[in-house]
Structure 1
């Protein structure tokens, strides 16, 4: 009986030592099968115990993009506290935020104009702010003023986590991308995505 218990206790150790092909992100999925369609996949970004469902964009600019923010229809409220942005929320098949670590700073460079203009450079070097964790450079709280959460400066040229509205608005609280149609126009949809540098 003791021998059986020892083997059963060792079984997880033996299994975990075997070589696994863990897919870290959507670019890994694309490398494994370059005809993979856009959709929801499971990735293991920080190891075998970190399974998370993400939406992979396999079409835009060569594909392999891991979507970490997706707004498509206003079905999900993005005006949320810090701990929910840290953990992530929503559903990868619809609207969602993937989640990140405490106080993370946005680093952007190498802008290529796709027609909407560069609204992110202003936010470079900023920490993420929510209504209950103010890390912007404004004397007030940009997350409260813009009813959103983002890497605000004082305050913003982009507000992709603002209140879902579509079309002309009379405030800055919508899904704003200033250089596209000004701060008084809210986009119908927006996604933010990343992939490793090729």
Structure 2
């Protein structure tokens, strides 16, 4: 039997080793490509969030940024343009790393989530905190974003105050803050409820199944739709707030986007005034009446003209509330 020449054996061994090395190189290359893609997705997502939501340009690593960003995304939401990159993948990353979720906005408004109860905590103004907001493991309750119950809280406020929030949580006279409302209605699909009471103690309500506030760069524009309730006797899903104020930008006496200084003409309260000369037919941040006749100076009260068609009249109390939509 003829023996295999040593040169042939050496060549075969060399080929085998070469194939093994090539195989490992290919595997390593695939691993690093996938790792780069994953890291690139993270960085792209972070940049998108920072760009679209105007967060601070934090000079820290991606992992440190992930610790500071709070993107609660239990499902990808098609409606919101600021969430365009695999937010569910990002959420899984947060869950597996176990980071305490914290986000710091450029206006020093912070949102924290309790890791046990999954409840949010919001800052209102400079010295008040609202806890147990949008708890994930409980039945959802309505969150009050505006409440007018007494005459002691002045709603004639600046853009900065309406942005950050103001008032007294104890007496239920406050504005949650446009930045808080924008953030909540961006991260969650929300509905809005308005409860209005007149001086005869008649209470009516309006519910809007779609409610969203855009960011400050867009002047916290109001987007609202799908009405039902008894605040107006309409048989369709459109009422005064939708007809007159949908897509209106928020205005205050020191920053307004209307033809006239509507906030100043309407007693100083910030609101989503319309751009025409009437400034609109609904205003819930006006002055409360100090007498039971409900009379106030012209156009300065809490106004809903389709119910009380009198620009000297101000309702006794009003509340605006939001709630997460039931998950399907």
Q: Structure 2 length as normaliser, TM-score?
A: 0.43
Matched, 1:71 2:148: yes
Which of the pair has the greater relative contact order for Cα pairs under 8 Å at 6+ separation? 1
Secondary structure of residue in 2 paired with 1:86: helix
Q: Distance in 2 between matches of 1:73 and 1:181?
A: 20
1:134 deviation in Å?
0.6
What is the match of residue 177 of structure 1?
A: 304
Question: Of 176, 186, 189, which residue of structure 1 is paired with 2:317?
Answer: 189
Question: Of 55, 80, 96, which residue of structure 1 is paired with 2:174?
Answer: 96
1:54 deviation in Å?
6.5
Matched, 1:157 2:281: yes
CA shift in 2, pair 1:115/1:100, >3 Å: closer
Secondary structure of residue in 2 paired with 1:144: helix
- Structure with bigger helix share is 2
* Unmatched segments (≥5 aa) in structure 2: 1-97, 101-113, 134-138, 180-215, 234-238
Q: What is the aligned length? A: 156
Mean CA deviation greater in 179-188 or 65-74: 179-188
Question: Of 216, 228, 240, which residue of structure 2 is paired with 1:119?
Answer: 240
Pairing of 1:50-89 with structure 2 (within 5 A): 52-53=129-130, 64-89=141-166
1:141 deviation in Å?
0.9
Secondary structure of residue in 2 paired with 1:110: strand
Secondary structure of residue in 2 paired with 1:163: coil
1:92 deviation in Å?
1.7
Q: Distance in 1 between matches of 2:231 and 2:160?
A: 34
Question: Of 146, 153, 172, which residue of structure 1 is paired with 2:266?
Answer: 146
Higher-Rg member (1/2):
2
Secondary structure of residue in 2 paired with 1:107: strand
Alignment RMSD: 3.0
What is the match of residue 20 of structure 1?
A: 115
1:168 deviation in Å?
3.1
Q: Which string of whole-angstrom CA distances, capped at 9 and with x for unpartnered residues, describes residues 7-47 of structure 1?
A: xxxxxxxxx736813313xxxxxxxxxxxxxxxxxx359xx
